[in-house]
Amino acid sequence: MTNAVVVGTGFIGPVHVEALRRIGVHVRGVLGSSPDKSRAAAQSMNLEVAYPDYDAIIADPEVHAIHITTPNKTHLEMCKQALLSGKHVVCEKPLAMTAVETAELVRISHAHPNLIAAVNYNKRFYPLVQHAHDMVKNGEIGEVRTLRGGYLQDWLLYDTDWNWRLVPEEGGTTRAIGDIGTHWMDLISFITGLKIVELMADLHTFIPVRRKPRQAVATFVGKEVAASMECDPVHIGTEDVGAVLFHYENGARGTMNVSQVSPGRKNFCNFEIVGSLASLAWDVENPNHLWIGHRDKPNEILIKDPSLMSANARHYNSYPGGHQEGFDDSFKQLYRAIYDYLHAGDFDKPKPYPTFEDGHYEVVLCDKIVESHQGRKWIAV
Ligand SMILES: NC(=O)c1ccc[n+]([C@@H]2O[C@H](COP(=O)([O-])OP(=O)(O)OC[C@H]3O[C@@H](n4cnc5c(N)ncnc54)[C@H](O)[C@@H]3O)[C@@H](O)[C@H]2O)c1
């Protein structure tokens, strides 16, 4: 039996715990930012071990896999220690703070080829995203020509909204790009198989000073409570919004808009992939519908239904047509891909999940986006 542990007990840590349990992976315990937080989280999720610190997880021979769901600045050291001590790792995105850090993690993962080194780009595992990937691969939309979309949210709209992601030392130099733009760029490169060869970026911070609560607030909870808390003014250097133009290796053109200050947009990640024969459009707030656009016949909407989907996409459905699958299911399907691969034991096979190389690629793109914005010019990738 594989025993997993989840590190981080904020917004996304419990999502990992629940998804692992749904696929029958035993979650042995949890680590919060203090022994008290570990105990409270272990109790609320009915987990057997509340770890006092990360070293205790590393020292526990019963732990085989570690899921890292803490703020970005902690990812490098935690991933490193896990792999060097022979434990599998599933790390939240972005993989680390800079491309230098992620390159180091790729090197360590290569030195341990029989360990899982995965990054949690869960959006790849919505059933209709897998289907869109198969349609592009099978040539059903022809040559990919333009890629449009982005990721819009509103949870950081007011100067009273606070989160660790706003601070470069905690989240990285980019914020909207690193936090949600990397989800979009990963989604597009997964579906199309295309790499970016050059890019041009424009970033902007509309709220240069925010009120930081004196007490820590969890992600998304900030917008509910921070306005009533005691605060100090803090200068913000990370971007609220970003727009990026991309040139892909096959000549395709891409446009991405990201924002964490768009009123009414809660978690709107969407794409429109335009080919020479057909187009595909999808968004994560309506993930069970895939729009397929045609010129010479009426457009179609494919409602998620395994009986109408590619064999691979069918595998990543748990329920029949009309039975909705959403956010938490995408984590479950990602972990099925990871743990089925692990349990099959053939590490020479192609990996069906996002790897540390994919995580590194995204952080390289973030660095290039900052370089382009600062230099006001196109940058080769
Ligand atoms: N894949 C996704 O869809 C998705 C969604 C949200 C967040 N994330 C990623 O997950 C990570 C966490 O984000 P979040 O929104 O859950 O943040 P959060 O602030 O809600 O939770 C982070 C938790 O980590 C704890 N923590 C901090 N330092 C720690 C340490 N050294 N040891 C143990 N615990 C520690 C904090 O107390 C907090 O409970 C980030 O890297 C983020 O980018 C991914």
Residue 72 CA to ligand 1 centre (angstroms): 8
Report yes or no: 136 and 193 within 8 Å, Cβ to Cβ: yes
Nearest CA-CA partner of 248 in 174, 311, 316, 196: 196
Q: Is the pTM of this model over 0.75?
A: yes
Pick the CATH number of 3-122 from 3.40.50.720, 3.90.226.10, 1.10.3720.10, 3.40.1190.20: 3.40.50.720
Q: Please report the pLDDT score of residue 222 as a whole number.
A: 66
Choose the residue to mutate in 7, 31, 33 for probing ligand 1, maximizing ligand atoms within 8 Å of C-beta: 33
In tens, the pLDDT along 34-55 reads 999 999 999 999 999 999 999 9
Tokens 């390289």 locate to 364
Report the pocket of ligand 1 as residue ranges, CB < 6 Å: 7-13, 31-33, 69-72, 74, 92-93, 120, 122, 164, 179, 218-219
Q: Please report the pLDDT score of residue 218 as a whole number.
A: 73
Listed as ranges, residues in the chain with pLDDT below 70 are 222
Tokens 């080194």 locate to 117
d(CA 262, CA 194): 29
Residue 17 CA to ligand 1 centre (angstroms): 13
Alpha helices, H only, the chain: 13-22, 35-44, 54-59, 75-84, 99-111, 127-137, 168-171, 176, 182-192, 222-225, 311-315, 327-344, 356-375
Number of the ligand 1 atom closest to the C-alpha atom of 121: 1
Cβ count near 122 (within 10 Å): 27
Superfamily for the 124-322+360-374 domain:
Dihydrodipicolinate Reductase; domain 2 (3.30.360.10)
* Strand-pair partners of 231: 213
d(CA 68, CA 211): 28
* Strand-pair partners of 48: none
Report yes or no: 253 and 247 within 8 Å, Cβ to Cβ: yes
Q: Please report the pLDDT score of residue 68 as a whole number.
A: 99
Residue 184 CA to ligand 1 centre (angstroms): 19
In tens, the pLDDT along 232-284 reads 999 999 999 999 999 999 999 999 999 999 999 999 999 999 999 999 999 99
Q: Which amino acid is at 68?
A: I
* Residue ranges per structural domain of the chain: 3-122, 124-322+360-374
Number of the ligand 1 atom closest to the C-alpha atom of 74: 31
Q: Please report the pLDDT score of residue 274 as a whole number.
A: 98
Instruction: Establish whether domains 3-122 and 124-322+360-374 are of one fold.
Output: no
In tens, the pLDDT along 142-180 reads 999 999 999 999 999 999 999 999 999 999 999 999 999
Q: Please report the pLDDT score of residue 219 as a whole number.
A: 74
Report yes or no: 65 and 116 within 8 Å, Cβ to Cβ: yes
